[in-house]
Amino acid sequence: MPALTGVLETSLYVDDLDRASRFYEAVFALAKMFGDDRLRAYSVADKSVLLLFKRGASNCVTQLPFGALGPHDGHGPLHFAFSITTDELAAWEEHLSLHKIEIETRIQWPRGGISLYFRDPDNHLVELATPGIWPIY
């Protein structure tokens, strides 16, 4: 069987693309690689991509100069996690507080990792996770 090398993209569907972009740029200092009225693409640690799609704007075939993308969309609160180092956990807690972001839940996992959970402006559950969550992380 051919091998996978990782998960490249994570997609979120948002109601207000400009509001979501401001949030992810301000809170996480993500670098925008591409943006238009339908989507924004952000580099995460120069190894993966966070895609923010305007809800409903991609539920038809999107014709690009170099090919066509199939329809997709999403509804409801989704969940994803950013990995962080254990050494920077306290700095992240302070950073979130400075941005007036309430930590909804903090979990100490049996393997030793810690997760902070909070909401973005579209009610998606964002997690910051230190090593020790999974056998591979």
Q: What is the CATH number of the domain that holds 15?
A: 3.10.180.10
- pTM comes to 0.94
State which residues form the domain around 3.
1-75
91-94: long-range contacts (C-beta < 8 A, 24 or more apart)? Answer: 92/116, 92/128
Helix spans in 1-126 (H):
17-28, 89-98
Q: End of a domain among 44, 75, 106?
A: 75
Number of domains in the chain: 2
Tens of each residue's pLDDT in the chain, 137 residues: 998 889 999 999 999 999 999 999 999 999 999 999 999 999 999 999 999 999 999 999 999 899 999 999 999 999 999 999 999 999 999 999 999 999 999 999 999 999 999 999 999 999 999 999 999 99
